[in-house]
Structure 1
Amino acid sequence: MQKGSASRIEIPASAWDSDETREILRRRDFAGLFAIAIKYGASQVRIGAVAELGQPAVNAILHGKRSIADLNVIERVAAGFGLPDHARMQLGLAPRDTASPTGDHDGEHEEQTTELTGRLDAAATIDATTIMVLHTDTDNLRYLDRKLGGPAIADKMRAQMTQIERAHHHAVRHGIRTRLAHLLAETSSLAGWQAINTLALNDAWTHYERAKAAAYEAEDPALLAYVSGEQAYVLIELGRPAEATELLHHVHAQHRTRLPARMRTWLSAAKAEAAAVLGDETACRHALDQTTALLPEGDGEPEMPYLFINAHHVARWRGNCLVRFGDPDTAEDLRSALAGMDGSYNRAESGVRCDLGHALLAAGKPEDAQPHIHRAQQLATMTGSRRQRRRITELAKAVNRALGH
C-alpha cells in the first residue's frame, strides 16, 4: 500500500476539472488547494497528517504566512489528496501512469495545446507600455510594503508575481523577455524581503533564488548584486553571519567594477551589518567608513528603483551596527535617522526605535527607552514584522530587568 493511502482525503474526481481548480494547481496555490480539501470535509489536522506537515504549518499556509517549495512535500500533498494524473501534471508533477508518461489523455493534450497557444498569444501582446504599468504596480507595492507591511498586501503580491512570472515564461521576443526578467527579479526580491520580515526564511530563500535567476537573464550586474546581497540577510536571520559575510564579500568582489556608487554604498552598509552581528568591530567600522565615503547625493537612481539609501539611511545603519558595541554616539545617529523619516517607512522606524531603546538602555536610561519600545511595538504589529517583534520583545525584557520589574 502506498504510504499515506489509508488516510487519503476523499475528493470527488469532478473537483479537479473546474477552471478555478486548474488555476490553483498551475500556480501551486497550496492555500487554495487546502481550502478545496476543507470544503470536502477534511480538517487542518488531517491535511497536516497526510502531508506530514502538522496542523500549525497547514494553518500558516492557509493564512498566506507560509508556502511549500519542497518537492517531497508537494508529492505527499498530491498523494494524500488523491490527485489524478492530469491534476498532478498541472501541479508540475509526473503522472503515476508510468507506462504512459502523458497519461494518454487526448483531450488533455488538446487542452494543453490550446492553453499554451493562448498564453503565448497573450505574452505576444506585451509591449513597453505594458511593462511600464507592471513596473508602476511593483513600485506601488514597495510603498505599501514599507508603510503597511507584507501581510497587508499578500494577495496583491501573489497576483503581481503570478502575472509577471507567467508573462516572462511565455515571452518570445528577446527585448521584452529581458525587461520582464528584470521586473521579475525586482518583484521576487521584494517578496523575499517581506518573507524575511515574517521570518518565513525558506520562502525568502526561494524568492531570492528566483530573483537571481531572473537577474542573470536580465544581464544587470547591479540588480544581481542587490538580490544576492539581500539573500545574505536570510543567513543572518538563520544565525549564520559568517556565511552572510562571505557571500557579501563575494558579491562585492565579483561585481564592484560594474556597480554604480549607490549600489557599492549599499553593499558596504550590508557588510558592516554582517560584521556587527559577528562582533567584529574593526571590520564593521571600516565598512561604515566606506559607506559614508561612497554615498552619492540624493535618495536613489531612476535605473535602480528598488534601492533607497541616503544620509539618514546611513545614520540608521550606523546606529544599528554600533549599538552592539556600546558606542556613545549611537543614540545621536539613531535620532538623526528618525528625523529623516517621512512617515512611510513604518517597519524601518520600528527597527530604529528598537535600536534607540538599546542605546538608551546601554547609557543607563531604561526609562527613556520605554516610549520608543512602545512605539516600536505598535509599528511592528501594524506592519506584521515578526522579525522586529522578536527584537523588541528581547529589548523590553532587558529594560524591565533594569527597572527592577
Structure 2
Amino acid sequence: MGTGLRALRTARGWSQDRLVYEMRRFAERRLLDIASPASLKVYVSEWENGRRSITDRYAGILRLLFGVTDTELRGAPEPHDEQVDGYADLLSRIDAAGSLGESMVQAFLDQTELLRTMDRQMGATGLVDQMNGHLARMEEALTFAVLPTARRPIAKALAGASTLAAWQALDAGSVERAWRRYELAKKAAQEADSPMYLAHAMGEQAYVLADAGRPQLAVELVRDARTTQANRQSPRLRAWLAAAEAELAAGAGMAEDARRALEDATSLLPDDAEARDPDMASIFLNTDHLARWRGNVLAKLGDSSAMEELYASLASADASFVRARSGLHCDLSQAHLARGELEEARSHLQQARLLANRTGSVRYRRRVELLTGRL
C-alpha cells in the first residue's frame, strides 16, 4: 500500500512536503475540508510506511493528483464471494447486452471522443476514474453480448477506447496498466475483425518497449504492425505507422532505417487538408503533424535540419495539443543541445517542464530530467 504512494510521489520528483502542498492546493480549489499541513505530513509518512490505511476521502484526492487507479494507489482489493446461483443475474445481463443498439455504441464512441479531447488539452491524470468506468461499461457489454453481430461493434469501440486509455496510462507513468490496456485493445480489435485498430494498438504499444529500454524490440513490433493486413489499412494509418517506426528507429540508433521510414510516411500521407482519419478517429496526422514528427526524428539523429522543421511546427502547432507541445519543446531543446546552444536549450526545456507539469505527464517529465542532465 505505502510503496505504491511512495513510488508515485518519487516518479513526480515530489518530496513529502510537496505532496502535502499539492493536496492542500487541490482541496482549496474544490472547497474541500482536509487536515492541516502538519497532520497531512504525518499521514503521508504513515501511509507510505504502512502504519495507516489511506481512507476513501484522501484516496480520491491522490488518484486525481497522480492519475492512477485505486488498485495502483492502495493495492488489489479483497476478492468477493461468487454468487452461488446466478442464472437469473446472468440472463438479466445477457438481455441487457443484447438490447444494445447502434445508439448505445455511438454513445460509447462519443464518450471516448470527449475523453480524448480532455486528455490532449488537460492531461490524463484527472481522467483515470472516468476512463476506467468507461472501459468497464464496454467490457461488461462485450462480456454478456452473445451473437457476433452484437459483439463486433462493441469490440471495435472498446479497442479504440482501450488504446487511448493505454496511452494515458503510459503518460502517467503506469506502465503495467498501459501494457495491459494495449493487450485488451488488441484482443478487442481481433474480435471486431479490425486490422486497423489492431495495427494502431501494436504501434503505440511499441513505445512501452522503447521507454522500458528495448528499442530494437519496439522497432520489430511496429514493423509487424505495418504488415498486419496492410491492404486493409487506410493510407493515413499506414503513414502514421511509418512515422512511428522512424521515431523508434531513431531512438534505437538505426539512422538509415529511420530516414527510410520517414520517406515512407511522407509518400503514404494523403495530400489533403484533413487531420483525422475518417476510418479511425484515433489517428491525427496531416502535413503539419508529420513535419513535427520529422523534426523529432531528425533531432534524435543529431541532424542540423531538425531546427527548421521544429520551429515551423511550433509556429503552426494546434494550441489544444498541450502535451504534444511539451514534446516539441523537448525536441527543440535537444536540437539546440546538439549545436552547443545551451541558453536556447534551457529556455525550451523550461517551457517543456511547465507544460509537462500542467498536464501531469510523468513520461515527458522524465524526458525533461534526462535532457536537464545534459546541460
Same fold (TM over 0.5): yes
Q: Which structure 2 segments of 5+ residues have no match?
A: 1-45, 54-61
Q: 1:259 aligns with which of 224, 230, 233?
A: 233
For 1:387, give the aligned amino acid.
R
1:234 aligned partner: 208
Deviation at 1:44, TM superposition (A): 6.0
2:136 aligned partner: 162
Q: 1:384 aligns with which of 351, 357, 360?
A: 360
1:130 aligned partner: 104
For residues 201 and 252 of structure 1, the distance between their equivalents in structure 2, rounded to whole angstroms, comes to 23
Mean alpha-carbon deviation: is it higher for 296-305 or for 207-216?
296-305
Q: Which structure 1 segments of 5+ residues have no match?
A: 1-41, 50-58, 90-107, 400-405
Any idea what the Cα deviations from partners look like across 1:45-84, whole Å, max 9, x if unmatched?
44999xxxxxxxxx88996525769xxx96xx64xxxx6x
| TM alignment of 1:344-355, pairs within 5 A | 344-355=320-331
1:247 aligned partner: 221
> Higher relative contact order at CA 8 Å, sep ≥6: structure 1 or structure 2?
2
Task: Please report the RMSD computed on the Cα atoms of aligned residues, expressed in angstroms.
Answer: 2.4
Q: Are 2:115 and 1:150 aligned?
A: no
Mean alpha-carbon deviation: is it higher for 323-332 or for 60-69?
60-69
1:22 aligned partner: none
Deviation at 1:212, TM superposition (A): 0.5
C-alpha distance 63-287 of structure 1, shift in aligned 2 (>3 A): closer
For residues 43 and 365 of structure 1, the distance between their equivalents in structure 2, rounded to whole angstroms, comes to 45
TM-score, with structure 2 as normaliser: 0.79
SS in 2 for 1:307: strand
For 1:303, give the aligned amino acid.
D
Mean alpha-carbon deviation: is it higher for 218-227 or for 172-181?
172-181
Contact 1:67/1:203 (<8 A) preserved: no
C-alpha distance 184-327 of structure 1, shift in aligned 2 (>3 A): same
1:223 aligned partner: 197
| TM alignment of 1:46-195, pairs within 5 A | 46=50, 65=68, 78=78, 87-89=80-82, 108-110=83-85, 112-195=86-169
Deviation at 1:155, TM superposition (A): 1.6
C-alpha distance 371-46 of structure 1, shift in aligned 2 (>3 A): closer
Aligned residues: 318
Contact 2:67/2:127 (<8 A) preserved: no
For residues 200 and 249 of structure 1, the distance between their equivalents in structure 2, rounded to whole angstroms, comes to 25
For residues 321 and 209 of structure 2, the distance between their equivalents in structure 1, rounded to whole angstroms, comes to 24
SS in 2 for 1:254: coil
For residues 125 and 238 of structure 1, the distance between their equivalents in structure 2, rounded to whole angstroms, comes to 43
SS in 2 for 1:306: strand
For residues 133 and 235 of structure 2, the distance between their equivalents in structure 1, rounded to whole angstroms, comes to 34
C-alpha distance 61-305 of structure 1, shift in aligned 2 (>3 A): closer
For 1:355, give the aligned amino acid.
D
Mean alpha-carbon deviation: is it higher for 223-232 or for 293-302?
293-302
Contact 1:168/1:181 (<8 A) preserved: yes
Contact 2:65/2:125 (<8 A) preserved: no
For residues 47 and 355 of structure 1, the distance between their equivalents in structure 2, rounded to whole angstroms, comes to 44
Any idea what the Cα deviations from partners look like across 1:21-48, whole Å, max 9, x if unmatched?
xxxxxxxxxxxxxxxxxxxxx9664499
SS in 1 for 2:275: coil
1:326 aligned partner: 302
For residues 342 and 252 of structure 1, the distance between their equivalents in structure 2, rounded to whole angstroms, comes to 27
Task: Could you list the structure 1 runs, at least 4 aligned residues long, displaced by more than 3 angstroms after superposition.
Answer: 42-49, 59-64, 66-69
Contact 1:128/1:176 (<8 A) preserved: no
Larger radius of gyration: 1
For 2:201, give the aligned amino acid.
V
C-alpha distance 139-126 of structure 1, shift in aligned 2 (>3 A): same
1:100 aligned partner: none
C-alpha distance 63-312 of structure 1, shift in aligned 2 (>3 A): closer
TM-score, with structure 1 as normaliser: 0.73
**Sequence identity percentage:** 37
